[in-house]
Structure 1
Amino acid sequence: MVRWCCELFELCSALLITADIDLSTITDRMAVKKAVQCGNVEDAIEKVNDLNPEILDTNPQLFFHLQQQRLIELIRNGKVEEALEFAQEELAPRGEENQSFLEELERTVALLAFEDVSNCPVGDLLDMSQRLKTASEVNAAILTSQSHEKDPKLPSLLKMLVWAQNQLDEKAIYPRIKDLSTAKLEDPSAS
């Protein structure tokens, strides 16, 4: 029994230790996400290319969405001439190659037709949720390029901990974690 508990503990500990986390890559990813969320798309593209130039080269949809976000930011900042020029030079050629890109481009350029974009049918493109969506897409692509999972491991590890504790409950008395949010141990002698 004790041996089984020790082996299980060793297995869980090894999973946590070998989680292969490089803090610099996390910092870099967070910088890219923050740049997109703040509307600094050119900076985000530069940071992505610094991390791995193949990310945007091999993912035309992601590159289009970043360029679309850049167009949205130009429109948001009232740079109409620059927005039109950017749309014609950078996005229109991509729209010719891909029908869904063309539809997204038309939807984005429609923002220019409204003086009050807060009441226009495509005004949602100016919402923070659009920036968050683009930032999330970039983050997932970076994680994939670094051979990491898109979803965090912590929820899976916590489920494994709960399962292991349920197995142990039937076989041993041990200091159990009762509340996962605080990770406080429950005194086994108090039960």
Structure 2
Amino acid sequence: MDGPGAGWQALTDGREWSAPPLDLPADPAAWYQLAAIGGWQAVVADTAYPLGHDLLTARCGNIPGLTRTWAELPYAVPVLCTAATADGVQALQQSVMVMAAEGLPLHRMVAVLVGTGEGRPPSVVRAAATMLSGRVSAVVHLPYDAGVRANGLRSSRVHSRTLQAAAQAASAVLAAAHESWGAPLPPAPQPAVLRPVSPAFPA
């Protein structure tokens, strides 16, 4: 479906905000191939998996893991989201340290700290943001928005602060991409043309 104002599209099933996640391909390469087939210049893939658990499992099992596979996709800018709470930022800080030890490209990752209530973020969250800003490309604070919390992005009452933070996050992703691959960005990849396969035996 086309997004408002044209110029972008959303691949979605149009289900209610409260519906469980779809059973989608876990392999990040599948999403890269989808982008290439569509010829899209930019694609936002919304994933939900426990980052810290994935990193630990990958290290203990000596396997690549989803985090590494996403991070090493060509032209990928991972956005790491966590709750703006003491537990949330502590988990993200630990994950970032593990990713640094594993040699993952933190310089083109963006961290988003999502508010869970009204008011200023706690001091521990602000301190964590300072620490993270020296490790990742950018840190963005997404304020609490009761309308989005209740109705998702279909809400007609999205707060202006939420829109400003979303624009800031998008700008941070674009800046990280420009820093890594130049401005303007290279053309979208095009898949190779498939040639017809001759049958092995006469029909």
Check whether TM > 0.5. no
Larger radius of gyration: 1
- Tell me which protein shows more helix as a share of its residues: 1
TM-score by length of 1: 0.31
